[in-house]
Amino acid sequence: MSRYLSVRDLDWTMILIVFVICVVGVIQIFSATLDTASQGAWWKQVVYIVGGVALMWLALNVDYHSMLHYVPMLYLGSVAVLLLTSVVGEATFGSRRWIPLPGGFHFQVSEFVKLVIILLVARFLTDLHRDDLEIVEALKLTGLVSIPAVLVLRQPDLGTALTYFAVLFVGALLAGLHWKYIAAVVVILGLGLSVSSVFLKDYQRQRLVSFMNPDEDPQGTGYHTLQSKIAIGSGGMTGKGFLKGTQSRLRFLPVPSKDFIFSAFAEEQGFVGVVVLLSLYFVLLMRIVQNAQMAPDRAGKYICMGIAALLLCHILVNVGMVAGMMPVTGIPLLFMSFGGSSIWSSFIALGLVNNVRLRRFVN
């Protein structure tokens, strides 16, 4: 470790917030899985978190500049592993996302590819050494991001693929893509959304999305969204109390320890709990943005902002989904949802932010 680095320079506020969110997650997982076959999930999650902390430590010790050095290798490796996943991946509910590892672990590749995408975008945009982003370069980068994104989409996993483009979009924004292109992207997205909302019936839209995510809503009936809304709504202002959420404990909520953990939390802790938890996420997000602002160089800014974009995208898509404001696309809520791959990639991301932060005086 470089002698410049000091533990005191870590962003302890950020780490504390993440710790609180993780604890809330573990408690919610405990409640959601009590008396079920996966009763020990909360304990596993604790192990994942401890492992995540170790990975974070590793991630902040390797200078992010040298990480950027290995981006081509990481990128090619990611594409190769994603291809491998589509061949040997273990199918669950009709989608291939997991690579079985010895010892019963399942490795969700796409979660880690997110980090590679962040590094890729940072490296590509830094290497341009310009204050504005030519459309040709932007399309090149889009092409590069699209290859793994399409592979993930084919799994099929729309939600995770979306996060890749969120990172790309924020990166392009920062790199100075011309406003007219930004506007074009926004208009195209807006048009697509309004077309789908005008011309497609609710269930058709659901089916369209569920076509991409067959495991979340196999019949496209919106049953899961409805149950999630019922869970959240019945929580009321102050919630039903710990272990008292009927929707999650009686399993009307789909996967209340994973993708729908936020509705399980909203049911038991109510609107007050929701505001507190969302505030924690907001502060976390703002800390990451602040670290981006304090980053010593563009690469650091891109990395931090990429992670911020990733987090915001996860929150918007996941929390919006459980509240019925977004289609069911099934991506985890970072630091809360049960799952090793998601926890580990999140902690590595946290490590990256601290990595950048620790080196803010080095240049």
Partner 1 sequence: MIVPPSDPTLEPQQQNTEQPVLRDDSNFASGKIALFQYCSVAVFLILIAGFWRLQVQNPQLYDERAQANSVKSAPLIAPRGRLLDRDGRVIVDNKASFKLMLARESFKEEHLRDIASGLDLDYDDLMAKVFRFRTRPKYEPMVLKEEMSPADLAFVDSHRDFFPELLVVQAESRLYPQNGMLAHVIGYTGEISQDELDDPQFAKYEPGQVIGKFGIERQYNDWLTGVDGQRQVVVDNRGTVRQVLATKPATPGKDLQLTIDLDLQAVAELAMDTGLKDVGVEHKNGAVVALDPNTGEVLAMVSRPTFDPNRFAGHIRAKDWKEINSNPDHPLLNRAIQDAQAPGSTFKPIMAIAGLETGTIDDTFTVHCAGGAVFYGRYYKCHLKGGHGTVSLHNGIKESCDVYFYTVGNKMGIDNIAYYADLMGYGKPTGIDLPHELTGLVPSQAWVMRTQHHKWYAGDTISVSIGQGELTVTPLQLTRAIAGLSVGGTWRRPHLTKDGAANDKPVTWPLDPKNVHDVISGMYGVVNEGGTGVRGAIPGLAVCGKTGTAQVASNDFVKAHGHEGNFKDNAWFVAFAPCDKPEIVVSALFEHGAESKYAAPIVRDVMKAYFDKKARNAAVQQQKNTLASNLRTVASLGLDGLIPGGKSN
CB atoms within 10 A of CB 158: 22
Q: How far apart are CA 176 and CA 194, in angstroms?
A: 27
Q: How far is the CB of 330 from partner 1 (least distance, A)?
A: 16
Residue number with CB closer to partner 1 (2 or 6): 2
The residue to which tokens 């563009």 are assigned: 298
Q: How far is the CB of 267 from partner 1 (least distance, A)?
A: 8
Residue number with CB closer to partner 1 (197 or 221): 221
Residue number with CB closer to partner 1 (53 or 145): 145
Residue number with CB closer to partner 1 (113 or 284): 284
Q: How far is the CB of 246 from partner 1 (least distance, A)?
A: 5
What are the CA-CA distances from residue 320 to residues 67, 110, 113 (Å)? Answer: 33, 21, 23
Name the site residues for partner 1 (rule: CB under 8 A).
Answer: 63, 65-66, 68-69, 72, 123-124, 126-127, 129, 131, 140, 144, 170, 173-176, 219, 221, 223, 227, 229-237, 246-247, 249-252, 266, 270-271, 274-275, 278, 281-282, 285-286, 289, 292-299, 301, 305, 308-309, 312, 315-316, 319-320, 323-325, 363
Q: How far is the CB of 47 from partner 1 (least distance, A)?
A: 28
Q: Using a CB cutoff of 8 Å and minimum separation of 24, what contacts does 44-53 make?
A: 44/338, 44/340, 45/338, 45/343, 48/339, 48/340, 48/343, 48/344, 49/22, 49/343, 49/347, 51/340, 51/343, 51/344, 52/343, 52/344, 52/346, 52/347, 52/348, 53/347
Q: Is the dihedral of CA 268, 274, 275, 279 positive or negative?
A: positive
DSSP state of 214: T
Residue number with CB closer to partner 1 (56 or 315): 315
Residues 309/169, Cβ–Cβ less than 8 Å:
yes
Residue number with CB closer to partner 1 (53 or 255): 255
Q: Where are the alpha helices (DSSP H) in 129-178?
A: 135-153, 158-174
- 3-state secondary structure (DSSP) of residue 96: strand
Q: How far is the CB of 198 from partner 1 (least distance, A)?
A: 21
- 3-state secondary structure (DSSP) of residue 91: strand
Q: How far is the CB of 35 from partner 1 (least distance, A)?
A: 8
Q: How far is the CB of 9 from partner 1 (least distance, A)?
A: 17
Residues 270/263, Cβ–Cβ less than 8 Å:
no
Residue number with CB closer to partner 1 (49 or 266): 266
Residue number with CB closer to partner 1 (107 or 137): 137
Q: How far is the CB of 134 from partner 1 (least distance, A)?
A: 13
